[in-house]
């Protein structure tokens, strides 16, 4: 694969910068090695500018096996309907694994897609590995890609739809046609494989479908012309769609579309189990944190030197900030939803701090500025701790004795970054002497959020700013309203 082609294609069709193209060139230079190593077809796809489609910019074919791609596909456009894994990985920044993808070229492959990111953790391209899977299938190879009865199908479906046999050959669904005596006159390759597996018969063409697949009897008996049925046969979960084709009220034939959803149903069950287990883990994390907090409170009641009190309180607040994240996850209406709403989290963490300092006359204002921010629990824990430290500092240090004032927590975002501002109109910061609190903030911002923490000079009070990149773990929706509290 020539790197010049990659460079030219990226320059013409994408919005990638020079440095980003360089990243892709580095990846592309190793493609052949991985293609040979895994006996897989490797590609790099990039999103095209002003378009919802992607373009192939690099490829490598294994030199050891029969080619499934006869010609180079570099420069070809990729459509979402054919390669959803590519677009999924692009949008979410996550790995996609598709057991059976039918490529634009009509090949059945096992496809793995991983995102390639720039130094700001934004997805700039995806790396695809494709392996043909017919060779792994247990079904006799003589059934491969065989279908019969194209002429009958065309005849029943109106004669001129020449694409139908081709389309049905590409379908993963089983596509069968029986005539008015219920004899099997057409089957696509998936159907041939399915019936051969169920019946162990070689000759199925023109056989009575109800002798081949007796479980269809009730579906054929049913009077409706169009009918969808959920069936379980031989531990297989099937969705059967029946369409009677008639001409002038006379039955011409019956079209059956059968979807084998066994794997899907198993995965659904596994997912359901997984989300129950994850919910349970969140519960336990929350309960364990509450136990730790109770133990600390117990210790505090047992008496200790007055000067230690502040350390216990700080620690309790930190534990409370983390447990707030789990409380919010558990309050999500959808059990699978693990996202944390950062505005809600900010309200929860900072209003508790202000309530605890009931002697202080401080107004807390939280401004979302139209941002609805959702993050993973990992990022949310860091953000909760950062907000805890900075709001706590304003409460503790900005308003000594009876001084009244405001603490404003405000969120701003642009395409790439989220900014968290914490202002107070208190006494302002003297010579900064960083202690554990600010050290925690510095560390979390830098290491967990890949961001930056600074103080902005102001005439009165203190103004802290945390900036970090928006990534697949930090999603922002724009709303109109401000949330004040
Ligand atoms: N909003 C603020 N207004 C005035 N002074 C502040 C403000 N925030 C921080 N400071 C000053 O910066 C110092 C360092 O803050 P830092 O959070 O690191 O430590 P701390 O609050 O004293 O103790 P802890 O480790 O428990 O947080 C504080 O002691 C305080 O003097
Ligand atoms: Mg502090």
Please report the sign of the dihedral spanned by the C-alpha atoms of residue 216, residue 220, residue 223, residue 227: positive
| C-beta 432 within 6 A of ligand 1 | yes
- Taking the CA of 462 as reference, the closest ligand is 1
Cα(282) to ligand 1 centroid in Å equals 32
Residues 249 and 289 in one domain: no
Residues 346 and 446 in one domain: yes
- Alpha-carbon span 231 to 261, nearest angstrom: 10
Residues 88 and 106 in one domain: yes
Residue 65: partners with Cβ closer than 8 Å, 6 or more residues away? 39
- Alpha-carbon span 1 to 41, nearest angstrom: 13
Domain harbouring 408, CATH code: 3.30.565.10
| C-beta 442 within 6 A of ligand 1 | no
Residues 72-87 pLDDT 10s: 888 888 877 667 788 8
Q: Do 120 and 416 form a contact (C-beta atoms < 8 A)? A: yes
Domain harbouring 95, CATH code: 3.30.450.280
| C-beta 339 within 6 A of ligand 1 | no
Domain that holds residue 443: 339-485
Residues 177 and 189 in one domain: yes
Phi, psi of 238 (to 5 degrees): -125, 145
| C-beta 391 within 6 A of ligand 1 | no
How much is the pLDDT for 120? 87
- Alpha-carbon span 390 to 328, nearest angstrom: 21
Cα(393) to ligand 1 centroid in Å equals 5
| C-beta 456 within 6 A of ligand 1 | no
Strand ranges (DSSP E) for 205-361?
A: 226-233, 236-247, 250-260, 340-341
Q: Which of 221, 236, 260 is the last residue of a domain?
A: 260
Residues 346 and 485 in one domain: yes
Atom of ligand 1 nearest to the CA of 393: 8
How much is the pLDDT for 64? 67
Residue with tokens 């459509």: 79
Question: Which residues in the chain show pLDDT less than 70?
Answer: 1-3, 64-70, 81-82, 99-108, 133-147, 150, 153-170, 335-336, 432, 480-485
In eight-state DSSP terms, residue 340 is E
Q: Which of 237, 260, 283 is the last residue of a domain?
A: 260
- Taking the CA of 315 as reference, the closest ligand is 1
Q: Which of 297, 317, 332 is the last residue of a domain?
A: 332
Residues 288 and 423 in one domain: no
How much is the pLDDT for 66? 63
- Alpha-carbon span 212 to 203, nearest angstrom: 10
- Taking the CA of 423 as reference, the closest ligand is 1
Residues 125 and 187 in one domain: no
For residue 348, the Cα-to-chain-centroid distance in whole angstroms is: 27
How much is the pLDDT for 231? 82
Residues 380 and 448 in one domain: yes
Residues 256 and 267 in one domain: no
Which protein residues have their CB within 5 A of the ion that is ligand 2?
A: 393, 437
How much is the pLDDT for 136? 42
Q: Do 466 and 452 form a contact (C-beta atoms < 8 A)? A: yes
- Alpha-carbon span 292 to 318, nearest angstrom: 11
Give the residue among 235, 148, 253 at the shortest CA–CA distance from 193: 148
Count structural domains, the chain: 4
Residues 306 and 421 in one domain: no
In eight-state DSSP terms, residue 225 is S
Domain harbouring 235, CATH code: 3.30.450.20
Cα(390) to ligand 1 centroid in Å equals 8
Residues 466 and 346 in one domain: yes
Q: Do 191 and 209 form a contact (C-beta atoms < 8 A)? A: no
Residue 356: partners with Cβ closer than 8 Å, 6 or more residues away? 313, 317
Residues 83 and 207 in one domain: no
């Amino acid at each position: 694969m020539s790197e010049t082609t990659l460079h030219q294609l990226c320059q013409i069709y994408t919005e990638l910068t020079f440095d980003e193209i360089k990243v892709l060139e580095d990846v592309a230079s190793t493609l052949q090695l991985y293609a040979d190593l895994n006996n897989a077809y490797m590609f790099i796809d990039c999103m095209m500018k002003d378009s919802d489609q992607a373009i192939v910019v690099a490829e490598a074919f294994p030199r050891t096996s029969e080619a499934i791609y006869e010609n180079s596909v570099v420069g070809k456009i990729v459509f979402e309907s054919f390669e959803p894994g590519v677009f999924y990985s692009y949008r979410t920044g996550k790995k996609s694994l598709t057991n059976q993808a039918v490529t634009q070229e009509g090949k059945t492959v096992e496809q793995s897609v991983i995102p390639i990111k720039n130094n700001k953790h934004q997805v700039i391209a995806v790396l695809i590995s494709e392996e043909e899977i017919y060779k792994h299938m247990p079904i006799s190879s003589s059934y491969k890609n065989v279908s019969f009865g194209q002429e009958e199908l065309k005849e029943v479906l109106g004669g001129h739809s020449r694409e139908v046999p081709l389309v049905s050959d590409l379908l993963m669904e089983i596509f069968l046609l029986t005539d008015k005596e219920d004899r099997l006159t057409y089957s696509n390759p998936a159907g041939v494989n399915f019936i051969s597996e169920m019946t162990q018969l070689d000759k199925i063409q023109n056989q009575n479908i109800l002798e081949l697949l007796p479980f269809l009897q009730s579906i054929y008996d049913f009077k409706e012309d169009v009918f969808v049925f959920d069936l379980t046969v031989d531990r297989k979960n099937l969705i059967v769609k029946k369409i009677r084709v008639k001409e002038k009220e006379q039955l011409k034939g019956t079209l059956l579309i059968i979807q084998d959803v066994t794997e899907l149903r198993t995965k659904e069950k596994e997912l359901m189990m997984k989300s129950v287990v994850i919910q349970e883990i969140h519960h336990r994390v929350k309960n364990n944190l509450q136990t730790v907090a109770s133990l600390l409170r117990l210790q505090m009641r047992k008496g200790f030197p007055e000067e230690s009190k502040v350390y216990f309180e700080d620690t309790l607040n930190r534990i409370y900030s983390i447990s707030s994240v789990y409380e919010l996850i558990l309050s999500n209406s959808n059990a699978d939803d693990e996202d944390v709403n950062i505005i809600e989290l900010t309200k929860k963490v900072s209003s508790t701090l202000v309530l605890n300092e009931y002697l202080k006359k401080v107004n807390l204002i939280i401004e979302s500025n139209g941002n609805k921010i959702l993050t993973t629990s990992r990022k949310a824990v860091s953000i909760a701790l950062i907000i805890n430290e900075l709001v706590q500092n304003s409460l503790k240090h900005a308003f000594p004795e009876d001084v009244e004032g405001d603490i404003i927590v405000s969120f701003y975002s642009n395409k790439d970054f989220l900014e968290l501002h914490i202002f107070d109109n208190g006494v302002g910061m003297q010579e900064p002497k960083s202690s554990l609190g600010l050290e925690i903030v510095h560390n979390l911002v830098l290491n967990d959020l890949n961001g930056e923490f600074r103080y902005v000079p102001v005439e009165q009070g203190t103004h802290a700013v945390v900036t970090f990149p928006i990534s697949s773990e930090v999603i922002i929706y724009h709303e109109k309203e401000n949330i004040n509290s």
